[in-house]
Structures are given as structure tokens and as C-alpha cells.
């Protein structure tokens, strides 16, 4: 169904927590108190320092001055891997992390994704750290109570409460940074909260706080955790970080009742193929790590040296069995396997439109240069919807002939190559339902398309 992008301004809920602990079972021990108690030990307070960029200044008196920054992180691995926003660590010269128990550590940036504004930093803790309980953003409800935890204005471990004001917000920060599909909340999010968790009343992280609306009150935004975990899996990819490889091509399944990692394929002659993993296997454990999604699987393999093995517990046709995965050396990976994903049906440029017709019941034409002014300054181009199949998925979800498709999932749709990238993506099933953005006149509309077994 097509949805119009609206703005809501909802009343705030402010939490006042007593500093005097109540006994367990006390009427004062509310769901909020329990949620905070469960999650707070996995929050990291981040302090940074960098040199100011005064290269464009007419005056040099302050050139080289130091700027102190602050942010928040979420501990995602007991060895000290922490996720935060990229803008928290961008260009910093030093990072200091303080954990909930007051321990302070020097940190360094491991990897980052500038486009999605996420980064992984690493500390070397003196003990095993608590990992943030993981929730899902697939079943969020308008009005649901949430809590933001963070280093607000440098006040470490600040808790603020509110509710989910709206879902699937698209936010343009500036010409270099924009976000898609954000959670909007009226929980107070201040400078320093960036990178911190938005948690539900189960104490589970359901979003990564990322932005506030300048000049507004009680309008904050968070990246849905299901979206963030896909990027986190890429940031923890063992081939990039430790030059090893496993060869698993997987799909995350996230819903209110189910969170699991399913093997979609294995790369031929890879360690995964040699271990005996098969399409449809559900990976339950890798070594001592419980596996919910690809991010868990990557961190389970992270730190393993080539030739080291870990035991995989998998579910196959409702039966559990154990397999031994021996991690390979990335330098020995056959060049022919890069980008290889076994598909039942390979599409090419000539039949991309027919694939769209079969999958969603639409056909597209690329906008000619003369018509690109119709998309205005907000978009670089789009694809004109030339045909819509009656009672097809696109028609049932509000797409009409003449609409201009400007985006699918996280990517713009200017050419057939852009569209093919999405519909042939190895993790397409995890995008379900697939979000689309269309222009109709002067209005940007959005909706969702179901993703079935198309490959």
C-alpha cells in the first residue's frame, strides 16, 4: 500500500529514575527499570579528539586547535568490538571508551561504512564484556515505549524514555548524508547519543540512535537494528579484517517470532562447501557463539587463523547435526569465485524488465535526459513505470502507470543496472518486504513489495 510521508509531533515521556535501588519485586521495579538494568552494561561511552579543519579560515591564530567530541557505542562482541556511528569517529586522532563499570580503554577504528553511517571500533578489555541483548525492528509498533541510552552532552549513561513516533522515515541531513527507513522517536536524543542503543521494554536493542532534527524538540531518529545488522555483518567480514574466508552465502530471517540465519548457498570448493553445509541449513551455533544472523556468524569466525576449525551446529530438515568448518586463507581463494553466487535463474541486461514483470508485475523505461527535470533536485533520475499488471504485486501495493520509480530498498533506481543490482542481490529475500519510492506529480510516495521465491 502506498504511504504518504507525514510528520508527527508527539508528546514526550520523561523518565525519572531513583538513585536508591529498590528490592527485586518491588512495585517500583517497573518494566522500564528492568529493561535498563538488562541493557546498560553493554553501552560504551565514547570520547574523541581531533584537530579542527581551519584550512578555509582567513585567520590562522587557532589553526591546529583540538576539538573534543563525544558519542555512544553498543558492545556487540565480548572481545571488545563496538558499533557506533561513522560520524562519531570520522577523522578522530584518538578515541577513549568508558564502559558501564567505569573502566577506560583506548580504542581504534576497525572498519566503517560512510554511506550508512556505521562503524566498528575495538578496545582490548581486561575481562569479557557484556553484549547488548539483540531485538528485532521487524515488528515495531507506533506508540511502543522505547528508551535511548547514551553519553548525552557528555553525561555518561543517560537514560531517556519515549515512544516510537513513526516508522520508515527518510531524512536528508545535508548534500553528503541522507538516511532511509529510520525509526522516529520522541525519546530525548542529544549530542553524544549518536551511536547508542534505542531499546524496547525487554531491554533489547531495536535501533542505533543516529540523528536529531535541528531546531525541533522530541524528534530523534534511529537506524532499525535489522538494517544495521546487515551492515555490521559486512563491517565484520573476516575476509576484509583477518584475510580468512568461509564461503557461506546466507540470508537473515527476522520477524517477531523468528530470528535465524539460513544458508542460501556455498561457494564451490570453499571451506563451507567442504564442511558439508547445504542450502536451507539453519546455523544455530558456531563454536561457542549462538547464531542469530550473519553478523553473529562473522564474529564467530573472526580471530580464527587459517587452518583453525570450529564446530557448527545446524538444523537440516528439522534435525540437528554438527559439522566442522575449517577456516581458509583468503589469499588461496580461487579468483574465479569472487562475486560467485549460485542462482537457479541468472538474468542479463536484455531480460531485466521481464524479471520485473514476473516478480512484481511492472515494466519500466529509463527517463530520458529531457524528462529528468521531473524528479526535481531531490533525485538524480528515475525509471518510468510504463505498464502495471492488474492484480499484480505492484498494482496491489499502489504503484500506477506513469509513476517514476526513484528508489528500491537502500539504493536509487536510475538505470536498469541499478534495478538489477537489487533484484539479483544475494540477500534479496532479507529485504522482504522490498521498500520502494515513487514520484507521483510533486509528491514522494512509498510502499512495500513482497519478495517471493523468484530465483
Classify domain 236-337 at the CATH topology level.
Pdz3 Domain (2.30.42)
The rounded distance, in Å, linking the Cα atoms of 68 and 59 is 21
Grid cell listed for 40? 546498560
Of 159, 148, 260, give the one whose Cα is nearest residue 205. Answer: 148
The rounded distance, in Å, linking the Cα atoms of 291 and 301 is 11
CB-hemisphere CA count at 13 Å for 451?
A: 20
Q: Helix, strand or coil for residue 414?
A: coil
Location of C-alpha cell 515494466? 363
Location of C-alpha cell 521494554? 201
Burial of 179 from C-beta contacts in 10 A (0-12 / 13-18 / 19+): buried
Domain segments of the chain: what residues?
31-203, 236-337, 349-449
The rounded radius of gyration (Å) of the Cα atoms in the chain is: 23
pLDDT at 4: 54
Active site residues: 87, 117, 194
Please count the other Cβ atoms lying within 10 Å of the Cβ belonging to residue 314.
23
Please check whether the two domains, 31-203 and 236-337, share a CATH topology: no
Give, as one character, the DSSP assignment of residue 130: P
User: The pTM is what?
Assistant: 0.69
pLDDT at 57: 41
**Partners of residue 171 on adjacent β-strands:** 179
CA dihedral (385, 437, 234, 193) in degrees, to 10, reads 170
How far does CA 32 lie from the centroid of its chain? 25
Straight-line distance from the first to the last Cα atom of the chain, in angstroms, rounded to the nearest whole number: 25
Please count the other Cβ atoms lying within 10 Å of the Cβ belonging to residue 113.
15
Give, as one character, the DSSP assignment of residue 187: S
Q: Are residues 300 and 293 in contact, defined by beta-carbon separation less than 8 angstroms?
A: no
The correct CATH number of 31-203 out of 2.40.10.120, 3.30.70.1520, 3.40.190.10, 2.60.40.1760 is 2.40.10.120
How far does CA 130 lie from the centroid of its chain? 21
Per-residue pLDDT of the chain (455 residues; tens, 9 = 90+): 665 544 333 333 333 334 445 566 677 889 999 999 999 999 999 999 887 665 444 444 455 667 888 999 999 999 999 999 999 998 888 899 999 999 999 999 999 988 899 999 999 999 999 999 999 998 999 999 999 999 998 889 999 999 999 998 988 877 777 888 999 999 988 889 999 999 999 999 999 999 777 667 789 999 999 999 999 999 999 988 888 999 998 888 888 788 999 998 888 889 999 999 999 999 999 999 999 999 999 999 999 999 999 999 999 988 999 999 999 998 887 765 554 433 333 334 446 788 888 889 898 987 766 666 677 776 778 888 988 888 889 999 999 988 899 888 878 888 888 888 888 887 787 777 888 989 888 788 888 898 864 44
**Partners of residue 81 on adjacent β-strands:** 77, 122
Top-level class of domain 349-449: mainly beta
Grid cell listed for 341? 553466487
Amino acid at each position: 500500500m502506498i504511504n504518504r510521508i507525514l510528520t508527527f509531533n508527539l508528546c514526550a515521556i520523561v523518565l525519572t529514575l531513583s538513585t536508591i535501588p529498590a528490592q527485586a519485586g518491588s512495585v517500583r521495579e517497573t518494566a522500564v527499570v528492568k529493561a535498563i538494568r538488562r541493557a546498560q552494561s553493554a553501552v560504551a561511552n565514547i570520547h574523541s579528539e581531533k584537530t579542527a579543519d581551519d584550512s578555509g579560515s582567513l585567520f590562522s591564530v587557532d589553526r591546529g586547535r583540538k576539538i573534543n567530541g563525544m558519542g555512544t557505542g553498543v558492545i556487540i562482541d565480548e572481545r571488545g568490538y563496538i558499533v557506533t556511528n561513522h560520524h562519531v569517529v570520522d577523522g578522530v586522532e584518538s578515541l577513549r571508551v568508558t564502559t558501564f563499570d567505569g573502566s577506560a580503554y583506548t580504542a581504534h577504528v576497525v572498519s566503517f561504512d560512510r554511506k550508512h553511517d556505521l562503524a566498528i571500533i575495538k578496545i582490548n578489555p581486561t575481562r569479557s564484556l557484556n553484549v547488548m541483548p539483540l531485538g528485532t525492528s521487524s515488528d515495531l509498533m507506533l506508540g511502543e515505549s522505547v528508551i535511548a541510552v547514551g553519553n548525552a552532552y557528555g553525561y555518561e549513561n543517560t537514560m531517556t524514555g519515549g515512544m516510537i513516533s513513526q516508522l520508515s522515515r527518510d531524512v536528508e541531513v545535508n548534500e553528503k548524508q541522507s538516511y532511509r527507513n529510520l525509526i522516529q522517536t520522541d525519546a530525548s536524543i542529544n549530542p553524544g547519543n549518536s551511536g547508542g542503543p534505542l531499546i524496547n521494554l525487554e531491554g533489547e536493542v531495536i535501533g542505533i540512535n543516529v540523528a536529531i532534527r535541528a531546531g525541533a524538540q522530541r524528534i530523534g531518529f534511529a537506524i532499525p537494528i535489522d538494517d544495521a545488522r546487515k551492515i555490521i555483518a559486512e563491517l565484520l567480514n573476516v575476509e576484509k579484517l583477518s584475510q580468512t574466508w568461509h564461503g557461506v552465502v546466507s540470508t537473515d530471517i527476522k520477524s517477531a517470532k523468528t530470528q535465524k540465519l539460513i544458508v542460501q548457498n556455498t561457494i564451490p570448493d570453499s571451506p563451507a562447501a567442504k564442511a558439508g553445509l547445504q542450502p536451507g541449513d539453519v546455523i544455530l551455533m558456531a563454536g561457542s557463539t549462538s547464531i542469530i544472523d550473519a553478523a553473529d556468524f562473522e564474529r564467530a569466525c573472526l580471530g580464527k587463523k587459517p587452518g583453525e576449525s570450529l564446530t557448527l551446529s545446524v538444523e537440516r530438515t528439522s534435525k540437528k547435526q554438527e559439522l566442522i568448518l575449517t577456516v581458509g586463507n583468503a589469499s588461496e581463494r580461487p579468483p574465479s569465485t569472487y562475486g560467485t553466487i549460485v542462482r537457479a535463474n541468472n538474468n542479463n541486461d536484455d531480460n531485466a524488465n521481464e524479471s520485473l514483470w514476473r516478480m512484481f508485475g511492472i515494466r519500466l523505461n529509463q527517463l530520458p535526459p529531457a524528462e529528468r527535470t521531473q524528479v526535481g533536485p531531490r533525485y538524480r533520475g528515475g525509471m518510468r513505470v510504463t505498464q502495471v499488471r492488474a492484480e499484480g504485486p505492484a498494482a496491489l501495493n499502489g504503484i500506477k502507470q506513469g509513476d517514476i520509480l526513484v528508489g528500491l530498498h537502500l539504493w536509487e533506481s536510475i538505470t536498469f543496472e541499478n534495478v538489477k543490482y537489487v533484484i539479483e542481490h544475494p540477500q534479496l529475500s532479507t529485504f522482504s518486504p522490498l521498500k520502494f519510492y515513487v514520484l507521483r506529480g510533486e509528491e514522494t510516495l512509498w510502499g512495500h513489495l513482497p519478495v517471493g521465491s523468484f530465483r
